[in-house]
Amino acid sequence: MLAETLAAIRAADPAAIAEARALQDRLTKPRGSLGALEDVAVRLAGAAGACPPPLPAPAALAIFAADHGVHAAGVTPWPQEVTVQMVANFLAGGAVANAFAAQAGVPVTVVDVGVAADLPDAPALVKHKIAYGTADLSRGPAMTVDQAVRALEAGITVARDLVAGGARCLITGDMGIANTTASAALISAFTGADPAEVTGRGTGIDDETHGRKISVVREALRVNGLPADTSSASEALRTLAAVGGFEHAAIAGFILGGAAARVPVLLDGVIAGAAALAAAALDPAALDHCVAGHRSAEPGHAAALDRLGLRPLVDLGLRLGEGTGALLAHPMVCAAVRVMHEVATFDSAGVTEKPV
């Protein structure tokens, strides 16, 4: 399934991009006056291979939840049980992601790819559990390559199912106590940045815990022989398996699945940024289908976005995850595309195009 998904991904269509740029310049507004919104609309035209591109609505949010063996290394003040408790909170509609999703009119699906407990069935819960949490990435590989591939394929399946259900924009979300540690390790491994530059304070930690977290990320790279040359697919997979989480692998698959279906993927914070580095290492063309919803306060997120060449739409100092930043950006992406469908051209509206 992974191979056929990778084979189906097409890079952006340069003709649609050129057509979209030209259309932007004919609309009744000064050239470039919509700033980054023009760029995002042009980007989606390239991704869809159509000008104007389809409206990226309705959207669907998938929150991928999993636990992390590295929790035992003392990298977060929160008990691991909070992951499963927050899954219950999402399913009951009580989390920030639910409030933002309700505001944006986006349905929420929660995907168990590896939480450390069995969950009762619920209508909005999809079960793709690979294991009850990963192994400790600072002592060896967090996942086997086979587990990482199964988590990738779970993400592809979720993307396919949401698209089959009518979604025309996929929004990434995550839940997993300690997952900012795995994110920092992935970002360091894929970008070559020093762990001290990309390891942040996650949910909020003191200096001592932050220092330990940086050492844990450094040790994770050392014991796993990273960074590797991730230009080969096998090393990209090995890197993802070595220091990622099940939710990172599943989000990477979700990105690939969206790209293969030519449905745009709106990326959330540092966890999605780390996952996108893995997806891009497997197929750089997948990035043409991604939009960075926001930039989180985690330093590794900025490093990931720089490497990915993605400009975030929203920068509000958020550091929550769950899909919250991407949910806020969704109406902006819709507005940007709507402009291309509905705004008159200078010709059609009889507006004088240039001052004389």
Ligand X SMILES: Cc1cc2ncn([C@H]3O[C@H](COP(=O)(O)O)[C@@H](O)[C@H]3O)c2cc1C
Active-site amino acid positions: 322
- Report helix, strand or coil for 62: strand
Provide the minimum distance between the beta carbon of 188 and ligand NIO in the complex, in angstroms, as a whole number. 15
Provide the minimum distance between the beta carbon of 7 and ligand X in the complex, in angstroms, as a whole number. 32
- Is residue 78 within the footprint of ligand X (CB under 6 A)? yes
Which residue type occupies 217? V
- Is residue 213 within the footprint of ligand NIO (CB under 6 A)? no
Of 16 and 266, the one with the shorter C-beta distance to ligand NIO is: 266
Q: Interface with ligand X by CB under 6 A: which range of 4-12, 109-117, 140-148, 171-179?
A: 171-179
State how far the Cα of 214 lies from the Cα of 199, in Å rounded to an integer.
6
Task: Name beta bridge partners: 110.
Answer: 63, 125
Q: Indicate which single residue of 43, 150, 262, 301 sits in contact with ligand NIO (rule: CB under 6 A).
A: 301
User: DSSP states of 194-253 as a string?
Assistant: -HHHH---TT---HHHHHHHHHHHHHHHHHTT-S--TTSHHHHHHHHHHH--HHHHHHHH
Q: For the chain, count helices (H), then strands (E).
A: 15, 6
Q: Indicate which single residue of 171, 177, 186, 326 sits in contact with ligand X (rule: CB under 6 A).
A: 177
Cis, peptide link before residue 227, omega less than 30° from 0:
yes
Q: Indicate which single residue of 321, 329, 333, 339 sits in contact with ligand NIO (rule: CB under 6 A).
A: 321
The alpha carbon dihedral of 345, 346, 348, 350 has a sign of positive
- Is residue 230 within the footprint of ligand X (CB under 6 A)? no
Q: Which does 173 bind (CB under 5 to 8 A by kind): ligand NIO, ligand X, none?
A: none
What is the per-residue binding string for ligand X in 85-114, x denoting contact by CB under 6 A?
-x----------------------------
Q: Which does 296 bind (CB under 5 to 8 A by kind): ligand X, ligand NIO, none?
A: ligand NIO
- Is residue 319 within the footprint of ligand NIO (CB under 6 A)? yes
- Is residue 82 within the footprint of ligand X (CB under 6 A)? yes
Contact 184, 162 (CB under 8 A): no
The phi and psi torsions of 150 (rounded to 5 degrees) equal -65, -35
Give how many residues touch ligand X by CB under 6 A: 17
Q: Which does 76 bind (CB under 5 to 8 A by kind): ligand NIO, ligand X, none?
A: ligand X
Kindly provide the residue ranges of all beta strands, DSSP E only, lying in the chain, ordered along the sequence. Answer: 59-66, 108-114, 125-127, 169-175, 265-267, 290-292
- Is residue 269 within the footprint of ligand NIO (CB under 6 A)? yes
Contact 22, 214 (CB under 8 A): no
- Is residue 56 within the footprint of ligand NIO (CB under 6 A)? no
Of 248 and 330, the one with the shorter C-beta distance to ligand X is: 248
What are the b/e assignments for 108-141, b being 16+ CB within 10 Å? bbbbbbbbbeebeeeeebbebbbbebbbbbbbeb
State how far the Cα of 54 lies from the Cα of 341, in Å rounded to an integer.
9
Q: Indicate which single residue of 153, 174, 283, 298 sits in contact with ligand X (rule: CB under 6 A).
A: 174
Site for ligand X in 300-329 (CB under 6 A): 320-322
Query: Which residue is it, tokens 């390239």?
Result: 46
Measured in residues, the chain has a length of 356
Q: Which does 23 bind (CB under 5 to 8 A by kind): ligand X, ligand NIO, none?
A: none
Chain residues in the site for ligand NIO (CB under 6 A)? 180, 202-203, 268-271, 296, 298, 301, 319-321
Instruction: Using CB under 6 A, list all residues that contact ligand X.
Output: 76, 78, 82, 86, 174-181, 202-203, 320-322
